[in-house]
Amino acid sequence: MWQAIGLTALPHLGGLYGGYVTRHQVKTWYPTLVKPSWRPPNAAFPIVWTSLYTGMGYASYLIYKELGGLTEDAMVPMGLYGLQLALNWAWTPIFFGAHKMKLALYEIMVLTGTVGATMLSWYPISRPATLLMAPYLAWLCLATCLNYRIWKDNPDPKGE
C-alpha cells in the first residue's frame, strides 16, 4: 500500500516546485506574451496537471508491482519513466523561470518522445498503465504546440 501511495504522490513533488516557480511568472511575465486563442485558460493547468501527475504516478506503481519492484527487468521501463519525470520537472524552470522559450521547446520535444518510449516499454507489461499515460501524452502534444506558438509569436530580443 505504501508503494502505491508513494509512487502516486512522487510526480506531484515536481509539480509543487513547478507551481512555486510559475506562481509569480503567471502574474508578471506570462501575461505580457502573445498567446494563441486556443490556449487553455490559466485555471485549467493546475487541475489538468494534478490529474496527469496522479495518473502517471499510479501507472508507475502498476509497472513497479507487475515487475516485482525495482528488479533488473524494471531497469528500462522504470528508467524511462524516471527520465521523463525529470524532464517534466525541468520544463517549468526553463520556460517560466529562465524565460528560455526555444530551449523549453526543445526540452518538451525530448520529453514527449521519452513519454512515448516509456509507453512502448510499458505496453507488454501493463496495458492499463500504458493507457493511464495516454492523456499525459496528448496534453504534452498540446503543450508542445503551445510552447512553439508562444516562442514564434514572442521573439527574444537577444535572438535566443
Q: Which residue in this structure is represented by grid cell 506574451?
A: 33
**Beta-carbon count within 10 A of 127 CB:** 11
Q: Which of 46, 45, 57, 47 is nearest to 133 (CA)?
A: 57
Q: Give dist(CA 4, CA 63) in Å, integer.
A: 11
Contacts of the segment 22-27: beta carbons below 8 A, 24+ positions apart? 22/92, 22/96, 25/96, 25/97, 26/96
Whole-structure pTM value: 0.92
> Which of the residue ranges 21-25, 78-82, 114-118, 156-160 would you say has the lowest mean pLDDT?
156-160
Residue extents of the structural domains in the chain? 2-33+44-153
Tens digits of residue pLDDT in 29-64: 999 999 999 999 989 999 999 999 999 999 999 999
What's domain 2-33+44-153's architecture? Up-down Bundle (1.20)
What is the SS3 assignment for 40?
A: coil
Q: Mean per-residue pLDDT for 13-38?
A: 87
Judged against a pLDDT cut of 80, whether residue 20 lies above it is answered with: no
**Beta-carbon count within 10 A of 74 CB:** 17
Contact call for residues 54 and 8 (beta carbons, < 8 A): yes
Mean pLDDT over each residue of the chain, to the nearest integer: 93
Q: What is the pLDDT of residue 157?
A: 67
Tens digits of residue pLDDT in 57-89: 999 999 999 999 989 999 999 999 999 999 999
Tens digits of residue pLDDT in 115-143: 999 999 999 999 999 999 999 999 999 99
Q: For residue 100, what are the CA distances in angstroms to 5, 34, 90, 122, 159? A: 34, 15, 12, 32, 11
H-helix or E-strand containing 157? none
Q: What is the pLDDT of residue 25?
A: 85
Q: What is the pLDDT of residue 159?
A: 56
Q: Give dist(CA 119, CA 110) in Å, integer.
A: 14
